[in-house]
Amino acid sequence: MFSYDAKKAEIRIYGVIGDPEWGMIGASEVVDALAKMEGKRVAAHINSPGGDVDEGITMFNALKKHPGGVDTIVDGLAASMGSYLMLAGKKRKVSENALVMIHNPMTMAWGNSIELRKTADTLDKYLARMLPVYSKRTGKDVEDLRVLLDAETWYVGQEILDNGFADEIDDSDGADFVMTGIKKIAAKSIEAGNAPTALFEKRTKAISQSIDPRPKLTAAKVALMQLQAEEI
């Protein structure tokens, strides 16, 4: 399944990467969706077992070059070509229970020994296309990566970060309803002329960067008092 929300600047790549005519997610769908979000920072959510390398690389390039930038978030699984795709993000997040798997390109082959050797040579070229990105984004040496790809290596949670595939664990629980409430109160107070916009922008930034829950309560209380003052 592929879906997007241009207003929220989000896309979801949930499924196999490949030809849309066969019910898979194609690069053209991603490119078309990104065109509707030009200039916006996009969050690309991934849950994919992988798929076609050519479609995946085209998709990767589209995400990487998107004006405004793209952050990738692995919601469940990023395996095979999905693990390559997640590396397109300027920031890369994974759920604490996410899985990432890397292995060598695979195909089905039929024919005589000459044809089979040609197929193996082609697979080596496909791997050569992918190794530089894996190395650059993870910080791993190419030869070390070859060993991991040969073995088909799986990472879960913190292991994904430890091995350079992601920058942080996505531990969000959804919408921040306290912050949403503060912003609504602030908007009404600003509209009424009771406080300058810059004051609330500064306060909101301080709240979002704080690990102390009390700033949220303080800001909400002040905003509410200003709103009540308007109504008196």
pLDDT tens across the length of the chain (232 residues): 999 999 999 999 999 999 999 999 999 999 999 999 999 999 999 999 999 999 999 999 999 999 999 999 999 999 999 999 999 999 999 999 999 999 999 999 999 999 999 999 999 999 999 999 999 999 999 999 999 999 999 999 999 999 999 999 987 654 444 444 555 555 555 556 555 555 556 555 555 554 444 444 444 444 544 444 444 3
| Contact between residue 2 and residue 13 where contact means Cβ atoms under 8 Å apart | yes
Candidates 45, 48, 66, 80; catalytic one: 80
Structure tokens at 37: 């979000």
**Has 66 been annotated as catalytic?**
no
What does the alpha-carbon distance between residue 123 and residue 146 come to, in Å, rounded to a whole number?
A: 13
Mapping DSSP to helix (H, G, I), strand (E, B) and coil, where does residue 119 land? helix
**Has 80 been annotated as catalytic?**
yes
Pick the CATH number of 2-170 from 3.10.580.20, 3.40.50.150, 3.90.226.10, 1.10.3210.10: 3.90.226.10
Residue type at position 21: E
